[in-house]
Structure 1
Amino acid sequence: MTETELLRLILTVFGGLLGLAVGSFLNVVVHRVPLGLSVVSPGSHCPNCQSAVRARHNVPVLGWLMLRGRCFDCHLPISSRYPLVEAGTGLVFALVALRFADTPLALPAYWAFAALGIALSLIDVDVRRLPNALVVPAYPILAALLVVAAAPGAGLRALFGASALFAIFFAIAVAAPGSMGFGDVKLAGVVGAMTAWLSWGTLLVGAFLAFVFGALVGITLIAARGADRRTAVPFGPFLVLGAWTAILGAGYLGDAYLAVLAA
């Protein structure tokens, strides 16, 4: 194994373990932020009987398995969503590590963006909104992390990408009231920055796929549940999914397309 391969393996394993821990925290964020509660205190507790979770049961995924999906104190079921979020975040963080193993300075920014996307997607599905408490601070935090990544020219492209996607979504929200919320508009700015930092093609593909995924799910709901065009479907998860599909590889298709146009 070469040093490069070893570094890639170490980063991937570290990313997976970090993601498990972050996923445990995201479960707290997803539950408490929409309610306006602190994510720091009180500590983790059973949502049914409010008993504090013991340290040995607070290990991501394994804790839930040890408890067999039930509270140690009241024995009521604990949703399988908790370990799934933890395992899913671990997987995503490992994939991000693989993607940015050659540019490790960018890893903190994209790990943070991954955590933000997972939290916002789950909250949007649960309560149909994207809290300002998460979206607004993401702008300065992610901007600072991208500055640390120090890629020549990428910072300015990220700024233009954020402005462009924000403006497009704002125009859609104003022109077609009810088509999307202003939370989606604000999230679009974040997505624009994080995709454009990599390339214009990544931004293009990420935005395009968000609408494609949204349309596919909408059509599926209409066919399966008898929903209609007025049925509310949260768009935040599609924005996040489109962005990450582009970031993790599909953005190269956009780059190739733009290269053909420029030829």
Structure 2
Amino acid sequence: MINELHPALAIVLTAAFAGAGATAGMLASAALARARAPAPVPLPPVAIGTAVLWLFVAWRWFSGGWPGWWLPVPLALTALAVPLCAADFRYRRLPDALTLPAYPIFAAAITTAAVAGPGPQLAVRALVAASFFGGLHLLVHALSRRSLGAGDVKLAGALGGVLGAASWGALGVAAVLAAVVTAALALTRRWGRGVPHGPGLLAAACLVALFPGRGVGA
């Protein structure tokens, strides 16, 4: 698809994605800093990281990695991924300032994709998957609060919608990938207040959203 674009238009679109991504990162960072329980994160790295992710989303779209109707979903997800990871690494918590707004943000993105793409079944599957994925993490949290925090549970519910929109199989893939990332983090150093699981969940969800396979939405 990118080869079909005029070079000047491709440059403009690329710059637009980078600028919009940086803006999204800054807005999310501002929300964390102004929250009732503030969790300020370094603004430049978060803005740059989000811009890079949005550029990657743009590249996947330009190269025909998935149907155009899927675009709102990875954009919404990557808008929150870097600031949430930064907050979890720094404070070992996933603030409500971003985990709660993730629900309407992802819902809007998935609904837009459903309307432009395969139809209502996409949104219905996302809703069921969100309930299942969030409920599973809630059960783990209830059994072992030291293993999984309340913020992880809230985030899991929102991410479950994105995973379900991709496919049913994405739920299992993401759960395994998230566990692997968390285990790898546990080996890197001693974490005084527990190993952050949010980065693993977000990394897995981003990979699934960026590489959902040709049967996305099926």
With the length of structure 2 as denominator, give the TM-score of the two structures: 0.80
Q: How does 1:123-142 map to 2 (within 5 A)?
A: 123-142=87-106
Change (3 A) 1:248 1:141: closer
Offset at residue 159 of structure 1 (A): 1.4
Per-residue deviation at 1:94?
0.9
Match of 2:4 in 1: 3
Q: Find out whether 1:147 has 2:99 as its counterpart.
A: no
Q: CA deviation at 1:5?
A: 7.9
Which aligned runs of 4 or more in structure 1 are off by greater than 4 angstroms? Answer: 4-11
**1:19 aligned partner:** 21
Q: Equivalents in 1 of 2:22, 2:104: separation in Å?
A: 25
Aligned to 1:97: 58
Structure 1: how far apart are the matches of 2:155 and 2:14?
Answer: 27
2:210 to 231, 237, 248: 248
Other-structure match for 1:54: none
Tell me if 1:184 matches 2:152. Answer: yes
**2: CA distance between counterparts of 1:36 and 1:231?**
18
Which of 106, 112, 115 is equivalent to 2:79? 115
Shift of 1:236: 1.1
Q: Report the Cα offset of residue 197 of structure 1.
A: 0.7
Residue deviations 1:24-73 (CA, integer Å, cap 9, x gap): 33332333326459xxxxxxxxx9xxxxxxxxxxxxxxxxxxxxxxxxxx
Distance 1:231 1:35 in 2: 18
Question: Partner residue of 1:232?
Answer: 194
Pair 192,82 (structure 1): closer, same or farther in 2 beyond 3 Å:
same
Please list the CA deviations of residues 220-241 of structure 1 after superposition, one character each: whole Å capped at 9, or x if unmatched: 22xxxxx38x851221111101
Give the 3 Å change call, closer, same or farther, for CA 125–33 of structure 1 in structure 2. farther
Runs of at least 5 residues in structure 1 that lack an aligned partner in the other structure? 38-46, 48-78, 222-226, 256-263
Q: Paired residue for 1:85?
A: 46
DSSP 3-state at the match of 1:197: helix
The root-mean-square deviation of aligned C-alpha atoms, in Å, is 3.0
On the 8 A contact 2:137/2:156 being kept in 1, the answer is: yes
Q: What is the one-letter code of the residue matched to 1:192?
A: G
Which segments of 5 or more consecutive residues in structure 2 lack a partner in the other structure?
none
What is the letter of the counterpart of residue 203 of structure 2? Answer: L
Q: Report the equivalent of 1:66.
A: none
Q: Which residue pairs with 1:61 in the alignment? A: none
Distance 2:10 2:157 in 1: 31
Letter in 2 for 1:170: L
Report which of the two structures shows the higher radius of gyration computed on alpha carbons: 1
TM-score between the two structures when normalised by the length of structure 1:
0.67
Give the 3-state SS of the residue equivalent to 2:195 in structure 1. coil
Q: 1:11 to 1:157 in 2, by over 3 A?
A: farther
1:87, distance to aligned residue in structure 2 (A): 1.6
User: Which residue in 1 is equivalent to 2:135?
Assistant: 167
Deviation for aligned residue 1:8: 6.6
Instruction: Using the TM superposition, give the Cα deviation of residue 118 of structure 1 relative to its aligned residue in structure 2, in angstroms.
Output: 1.8
Q: Shift of residue 10 of structure 1?
A: 5.3
Which of the pair has the greater relative contact order for Cα pairs under 8 Å at 6+ separation?
2
